[in-house]
A and B are shown apart, each in its own frame.
Chain A
Amino acid sequence: MLSKAFFWVVDHQTEFFRALGQHLLMSGVSMAIALAIALPLAVLIVNYGRFAFGVINTINGLRTIPSLAILAIMMPLLGIGIMPSIVALTVLALPPILLNAYVGLRDVDADAVEAAIGMGMSRSQVLRKIRIPLAAPAMFAGARTAAVQVLAGATLAPFIGGGGLGDFIATGIGMMDTSRLLVGAVPIAILALSTELILGRVEKHLFAESTTA
């Protein structure tokens, strides 16, 4: 069955790579948007603690909505196509990035922060020189979790006409053709797993010094 799927890909290379491209584009764009929203937001709510509770709970609330439901909600609002899929995937990526970044920034070594304030660092210097570098590993870990979730979550995009590798799965189910289903499922699994592995390696390499502190 796997070999049948493989030969289908060989025969339909344009179709396969277009779907793969859509999949990566959707995932990449929504990750970029989610990072651009969540990281500054985390910094903001760490500085203004009284908003943290509300923001964190709202984001956590979003997390309880199933991905498919988010896609369904987007359809009447944004129609079909790649845009609503990107919005839905962004919503999916926000919670892990925001929560990890917030907790990382908040739980930075309290003594280091006290020493920094006591020696005359301004609030923004404490953030730039102490909090962000020390929270960087947690921030990265959040982004890594989100990336894997988004790559896997993008599988559902075909339900609202978003395209991507999920198309083959939807078609496979529709035609009761398991080998066609595998054309989508196997690459998605490989993408998600290799992203997890590669980003894990990068994380270890980048933060070898500070994570063991």
Chain B
Amino acid sequence: MIRMENVTKRYDAGAAPSVDNLTLEVPEGSTVALIGPSGCGKTTTMRMINRLIEPTEGRIFVNGEDVTKADPVQLRRHIGYVIQNVGLFPHMTIAENIAAVPNLLGWDQPKIVKRTEELLGLVGLDPQEMLKRYPRQLSGGQRQRIGVARALAADPAVLLMDEPFGAIDPIARARLQDEFKQILKRVRKTVVLVTHDLDEAIRLGDRIAIMRAGKIVQYDTPDAVLSNPADEFVANFVGIDRAIKRLSLFSVADAMLAGAPSSPAASVAASANLREALSLMVAANSDVLAVVDTGGIVTGHLTRNAIFAI
């Protein structure tokens, strides 16, 4: 669990604070996305948690321990950290990169080797193929996966991510985000994610903290933020299409009705989200879709009213 209490960061005395009397609690095992326009203080907020930036005022607790009193170097070894450009060490092999923190912590070699292979499996890469390679021999998506594996190496309870998928092309990004979500289901981590991409925040965050001028203007679930923006700033930030974005939070299975439809114009997979389903309805100019399972068997139907009622 992470708790920030009345945290303020002022880079220059007298200047407006970059982070202004901020209080935030991230429950254990949940993911919070910090989002807002450039200069809103989201990155500063995250970097104070592992003390890459020192707060001017206030207290920060990680798992009950006051980090402002901890040794920063020791603290960082127990907090996973992923940055936008990954920052793999170009002169080290993938195995050495992943083993960086376990080595700092003095683990013995057999344990490190076992853990490295386990992590490569977790992020969906083949250990035999990857271990001896150098970062420059990998694609952008592979490097990002190694970055996540490296951050998880010593099994930290907390993971900080600074625009982790920002440097990846949109198609690969969506796939990596889904994979990352699956990984988080298997390893229970408390995650703070900084992003400027609302879709990423919606997709990954259990909760979203929308920031403006060093303050959190709304801290709630993606559903609540999209259906009830706290003020005009949030409403503008999430956009005029927020109702449609909100639909992506729900799957077809959440809204489908039993029974095969009489004359469906198109069909949709039960695992698709409602935003995609609505798009199919618009494309087919139809009020009803057949819902099919992975084998293509019709398992029910989805109506326009059911989507609108969610």
Contact = CB atoms under 8 A, between A and B. Distances in A.
B167 to A, nearest CB: 10
Contacts of A133: 91
Interface stretch (B70-78, B213-221, B267-275): B70-78
B91 A209 contact: yes
Interface string A117-133: 11111100100011001
B156 to A, nearest CB: 10
Interface string B70-88: 0001111110010101111
A114 B43 CA distance: 14
Contacts of A117: 52, 76
A116 interface: yes
B90 A119 contact: no
Contacts of B91: 133-134, 209-210, 213
A112 B90 contact: yes
B308 interface: no
A212 B81 contact: no
A11 interface: no
B136 A115 contact: no
Contacts of B83: 111, 114-115, 118
A209 B75 CA distance: 33
A114 B78 CA distance: 16
Contact of B86 (A115, A116, A125, A212): A115
A125 B89 CA distance: 13
A107 interface: no
B87 A115 contact: yes
Query: Interface size bucket, A side?
Result: 20 to 34
A15 interface: no
A109 interface: yes
A121 B90 contact: no
A213 B90 CA distance: 6
B143 to A, nearest CB: 11
A112 B151 CA distance: 13
Contacts of A210: 90-91
Contacts of A112: 87-90
B90 A118 contact: no
Contacts of A118: 50, 52, 76, 81, 83, 160
A207 B36 CA distance: 43
A129 B96 CA distance: 11
Given A209-B91, A213-B135, A121 B86 contact: no
Nearest to B78: A120
Interface in A98-153: 109, 111-122, 125, 129-130, 133-134
Contacts of B75: 120
Interface in B129-145: 134-136
A57 to B, nearest CB: 29
Given A111-B83, A213-B136, A120 B88 contact: no
A109 B87 CA distance: 8
Contacts of A121: 73, 104
A136 to B, nearest CB: 9
A119 B89 contact: no
Interface string B48-76: 00101000000000000000000001111
Contact of B134 (A109, A113, A130, A213): A213
A64 B77 CA distance: 47
A101 to B, nearest CB: 17
B230 to A, nearest CB: 32
A212 B137 CA distance: 10
Contact of A120 (B74, B135, B150): B74
B76 A119 contact: yes
Nearest to B52: A118
Contacts of A109: 87, 90
A89 B6 CA distance: 61
Which of B74, B100, B101, B136 is most buried by chain A, counting CB atoms within 10 A of its CB?
B100
B65 to A, nearest CB: 15
Contact of B90 (A114, A122, A125, A134): A134
9 contacts: A112-B87, A112-B88, A115-B81, A115-B89, A116-B87, A117-B52, A118-B81, A119-B77, A119-B150
Interface of A: 109, 111-122, 125, 129-130, 133-134, 209-210, 212-213
Given A115-B86, A119-B81, A120-B75, 9 more contacts: A109-B90, A112-B90, A115-B83, A117-B52, A118-B50, A118-B76, A118-B83, A118-B160, A119-B104
**Which 6 residue pairs are nearest across A and B when measured between Cβ atoms?**
A115-B87, A213-B90, A120-B77, A111-B87, A120-B76, A118-B81
Interface of B: 50, 52, 73-78, 81, 83, 85-91, 100-101, 104, 134-136, 147, 150-151, 160
